[in-house]
Copies of this chain bind each other. A is one copy, B any other.
């Protein structure tokens, strides 16, 4: 029933690529073209699209508009969803800016910080509140998604607060492994690990003429 995480990630990527192509005026493409743009194989693309139950033509490929719509049907919510962000530092601001006005189905509706100088204003279209207001805001608006961009030391406390307030999905940027109840979905992004990975797999590669 539910999509595998890897499949989901690729579908989201395909849609993003297809949106860009649509904006450029392209109307249709073949599986191998999308594959090339996404960095996967053509067979992978076709397999990923199976649950979308969309069908392409051997001579024209897939109609992009239909494809985007079908992918949306698989991965989007029926009704718009809201998220909150906690931690209005550089990273928090970058994320607010990034998402502002980007996706009407999924938006950040409030930001929180315990620093009084950072709150009670609007940043990139998002209202900023003191941290104390978090529980009531989240509860009253029935918000289910939280984004954690506070320093490592505060992350577990903030995550607990979010979960107690009713959040069941978290996106954590703090470099700590959060311990959460099993009913909460957790996605972690760790810059440090990513950079170490790049460093590791970069070693031994040859610049220029390598293949």
- Is A206 on the interface with B (CB-CB < 8 A)? yes
B91 with A195: CB separation less than 8 A: no
- Is A199 on the interface with B (CB-CB < 8 A)? yes
- Is A198 on the interface with B (CB-CB < 8 A)? yes
Q: Which of A1-55 contact B (CB under 8 A)?
A: 2-3, 5, 8-9, 12-13, 16-17, 20, 37-39
| Main SS at interface, chain A | mixed
Among the listed B38, B193, B199, which residue makes an inter-chain contact with A169, where contact means beta carbons less than 8 Å apart?
Answer: B199
Q: How far is the CB of A36 from chain B (nearest CB, A)?
A: 8
Q: How far is the CB of A201 from chain B (nearest CB, A)?
A: 4
Q: Which of A94-120 contact B (CB under 8 A)?
A: 94-95, 97-99, 102-103, 106
- Is A86 on the interface with B (CB-CB < 8 A)? no
Q: How far is the CB of A61 from chain B (nearest CB, A)?
A: 19
A199 with B5: CB separation less than 8 A: no
**Given A12-B192, A185-B201, 10 additional A-B pairs, CB 8 A:** A8-B200, A8-B201, A12-B197, A13-B193, A37-B179, A99-B191, A106-B196, A144-B202, A167-B207, A183-B205
Cβ-closest 9 pairs across A and B: A169-B202, A183-B210, A90-B94, A91-B94, A168-B205, A185-B201, A169-B198, A90-B93, A12-B193
Task: List chain A positions with a Cβ less than 8 A from chain B.
Answer: 2-3, 5, 8-9, 12-13, 16-17, 20, 37-39, 75, 77, 81, 83, 89-91, 93-95, 97-99, 102-103, 106, 144-145, 147, 166-171, 175-177, 179, 181-185, 187, 189-203, 205-208, 210-211
